[in-house]
Amino acid sequence: MKRETITRMLNDIDDRFVSEAAFPDPASAREGPERIKHMKKKRIITLALAAALILALGAAAYAAGLGSAIAEIARELSHSVPDEEMRKERPEAAAYIDEWNSRMDEWAEMGENSDKTAQSAVLPDGTTITLTENFYDGDRLALSYVLSAEGPRIDYDFGPDHECFDLLTESNGLAWYQDLSETQYLEIMAKLKLRGKVGFVIRTVGVGDHVRLADGTDIGPFIGAELDGNTVLVPQNGLPEAAKGQDKLELSFVVKTYEAYIWLEGDQVYSYYPVADGVPVSFEIFNNTSK
């Protein structure tokens, strides 16, 4: 194969794979492919807007309401303690795992001492966000929430007459289908095959990447983890000064509807992503040590 052909092949790699490899991979800190095979549930992806990490755990057995999601996730994310051989041959990896485990021990401790009084907010479209658990001791914070919303919705009301049509840009290689179910994807492909072109809007409800105090202070970026619908957030670099030593904090989340306008024509992909609308939702949490 010609070198130019190889370059072209590499240039066509999907964004999702490129993004996945954009940051160092903690999952590889363990030994060889056999061990990693058991860790596939702990895939790391990046949340670019908040420079945060989300660790997605698919099939673990945590059930909401039966304990602490924060502690449960901490246990799931902990690595095996490096043995002597690993400490000798790969001291950097061993040190990394020790540091990570120590952070997870801290998460578990926060989870065990968290306030598990649930607070919910229901939006006009039926979307519900529930803060299921929180820990705040004036210096450290850990949150767990559950978002109940309709999955990605596809509306086929997008075409050349739509006001956003002129805003489309060529986006070949874009993984526009990554959040869709197989049924949704196949339905789109069937329409494309039938007509040679198809336009649609993918609407997805999600929580914005920022959590702010009442005065607007952003308390991220976070290390986040997701387990069976529970999302746990812990500030990556500690709390900002404005959030320290308070008796209570008013935390503001933003629930957004993300839209993706997609036009497929033959092999070409065109897309437009407008700024997502957001509905702010506030929760009040109290300093666990001042009760």
Partner 1 sequence: MTDEEIINLFFERSEQAIDELARQHGGAVTRVVRNILGNEQDAEECVNDTYLGVWNAIPPHRPSPLRTFVCRIARNLATKKYHANTAEKRNSQYDLALDELAETLAAAGGVEQELEAQELRAAINGFLGTLSAADRFLFLRRYWYAESVKDVAKAAHSTAGSVAVRLFRIREKLRLYLEKEGLPV
Residue closer to partner 1 by CB (options 15, 250) is 15
* Interactions with partner 1, residue window 250-289 (CB under 8 A): 267, 272-275
Cα–Cα nearest to 279, from 82, 125, 176: 125
Mask of contacts with partner 1, 42-71, x by CB under 8 A? Answer: -xx-x-xxxx--------------------
165 touches partner 1 by CB under 8 A: no
Name the residue nearer to partner 1 (CB basis): 2 or 193: 2
Residue 83 dihedral angles phi and psi, to the nearest 5°: -85, 175
The residue within the footprint of partner 1, chosen from 75, 87, 90, 256 (CB under 8 A), is 90
For residue 176, what is the DSSP state? T
The nearer residue to partner 1, 19 or 289, going by C-beta atoms, is 19
Structure tokens at 10: 């590499």
Q: How far is the CB of 221 from partner 1 (least distance, A)?
A: 8
Find the binder of partner 1 among 32, 61, 66, 161 (CB under 8 A). 32
Residue 189 as a binder of partner 1 (CB under 8 A): the answer is: no
Query: How distant, in Å, are the alpha carbons of 41, 49, 118, 123, 143 from that of 223?
Result: 17, 13, 22, 26, 11
Q: How many residues does the chain have?
A: 291
* Calpha distance 253→233 (Å, rounded): 12
Query: Which residues between 119 and 138 bind partner 1 (CB under 8 A)?
Result: none
Dist CA 282 CA 195 (whole Å): 46
Does 155 contact partner 1 by CB under 8 A? no
Residue 210: CA count within 13 A, CB half-sphere:
10
Q: Is 93 in the site for partner 1 (CB under 8 A)?
A: yes
Evaluate whether 114 touches 73 at the Cβ level (below 8 Å). Answer: no
Q: Which residues bind partner 1 (CB under 8 A)?
A: 1-15, 17-22, 24-29, 32-33, 36-37, 39-40, 43-44, 46, 48-51, 89-90, 92-93, 96, 167-169, 171-173, 209-210, 267, 272-275
